[in-house]
Structure 1
Amino acid sequence: MPARTLLTSASLAGAALLTHTEQSREWPLLVWTPGPGVRMVSSAVLGGGIGEREWVINAQVPPGYDRLDPVAHLRDLAAGAGLVGPGVGLMTAASVADRRHAEDGGARAVVTAGIGVRGWAAAPGVGGVTIPRPGTINIIVSLPVPLTDAALVNAVATATEAKVQALVELGADASGTPTDAVCVAAPVPTGNEAEPFAGPRSLWGARLARAVHGATRAACAGLISAEDTGRVG
């Protein structure tokens, strides 16, 4: 198990890369353990919503992953990594080892990306009940300041806008993939001190946006370039 550290650049950018076994092969498992005293908001299948969380895992799984128990699977992976207490679990078929990190004024982001299946969110004639699948652009963000509940939700929107900006700038005709996921972490407020805003023109929202934008561009640039030249299916 990686040593518990404070919510610092070194802890997120240097998140431990472990392995887990699936289909008789070893797959990477990114593990970040900021420890207690951290609140997170996430769209992840495990530990989603808003609440205090002590760890985040981003598990790479085989292409065509078809297990029907992703929550139980992620819990098993967390236990295998020695993690205890509440946490957030994300999945992706993209390369976790090829994660990219960016920082802006204390806001830090790590992004793993695969964009083989991508499109626009408001595509006509699609939708319905589906089994959750591993996200292919996974964003993990840490901020050094507490946020209100509303600001945490705002931070998710800001991170998503920054992701889309990066994709459009790179020439991807898409707003993302159908199963992207995000997690934003910030310290637990002490007293009534918490940032009320995290939109893109607020101090911390702007920093978050630039960090996510930079990490997303770095994570997706080579994939889009390779796909344009026919090297990626």
Structure 2
Amino acid sequence: MLAPRLTRPWLVADLGAPHRVLSFAPHNPGFVTAQTLVWREVKNADLPEGMDFSAWFAGELARAGLSASVAMLTARDIGTWRAARAEVGGVTVECLATVGLGNAEALGPRRPTRRPETAPAPGTINIALRLSEGLTDTALLEALSIAASARAATVLASGVTLADGRAALGTGTDCLALAAPAGEGAFAGLHTALGEAIGRAVSAAVGQGCADWVAENGLRADGYPEDLI
């Protein structure tokens, strides 16, 4: 299992060996080689308006010895992480997710920029995946699209809505990181065992996280985009 190590404010998942990682994480994004995937728990007060966010985050990672990691941020309590594993046709996918929906969003008009004092705590959905099958860069892109679809479908199924009644599909600052060993697998779509396993693992982990958030906050997400994390 992709078991994390929790040492606040860090949640660190060691892949066991260097992997090819594709993400849109705020630190080391894109196609990189990394052995650790990292969450940093923060509050809005940690990131005041006008600060050099990238420099701050790089400094925090350097002090923690995590500069080579693919690293994400969230205001969600990182102790609420959820994990799931799916095996289909000999292919295994492990998923680790933290799920906050106070910053929920939907397709269509962006939300107002003022957050009511009564709104739930901010947060985002950060997902890390480890695949057992090596993929080409093109197949990694396809796999990431399946993970994103599974995230959106799972949030939709949770029943969480925005203040205007639209169904939430995620948050405005979600992040996905997908890791795979070296390999030449060329396909990762919904017709493949890998695509099915990705969907199952993401749906299970994110579904558990959504259920936790709903139990704490209800089905209404009233956070606003100023809660960027």
Determine the structure 2 residue equivalent to 1:131: none
Q: Which has the higher contact order (CA 8 A, sep 6+)?
A: 2
* Segment of structure 1 superposing worse, 39-48 or 53-62: 53-62
1:92·1:138 contact (CA, 8 Å) conserved in 2?
A: yes
Cα drift, residue 232 of structure 1: 8.8
Please list, as runs of the form range in 1=range in 2, the aligned pairs for 1:3-152 lying within 5 A after superposition.
9=1, 12=2, 14-19=3-8, 28-34=9-15, 36-67=17-48, 68-83=51-66, 86-105=68-87, 106-120=92-106, 122-124=107-109, 136-152=124-140
Structure having the larger proportion of residues in strand = 2
Q: Quick check: 2:25–2:71 contact (8 Å CA) kept in 1?
A: yes
Query: What RMSD over aligned residues (CA atoms) do the two structures have, in Å?
Result: 2.5
- Listed as ranges, the gaps of 5+ residues in structure 2 are 113-121, 161-166, 224-229
Identity across the alignment (%): 30
- Kindly tell me the number of residue pairs found equivalent between the two proteins: 202
> How far did residue 35 of structure 1 move?
5.1
| Contact 2:101 2:221 (8 Å CA) reproduced | no
Q: TM-score, normalised by structure 1?
A: 0.78
Q: Distance in 1 between matches of 2:131 and 2:69?
A: 17
CA distance in 2 between counterparts of 1:226 and 1:35 reads 34
Query: What is the TM-score when the length of structure 2 is the normalising length?
Result: 0.79
Structure 1, unaligned stretches of length 5 or more?
Answer: 1-8, 20-27, 128-133
Q: Does the 8 A contact of 1:223 with 1:232 survive in 2?
A: no
Alpha-carbon separation, structure 2, partners of 1:176 and 1:204: 23
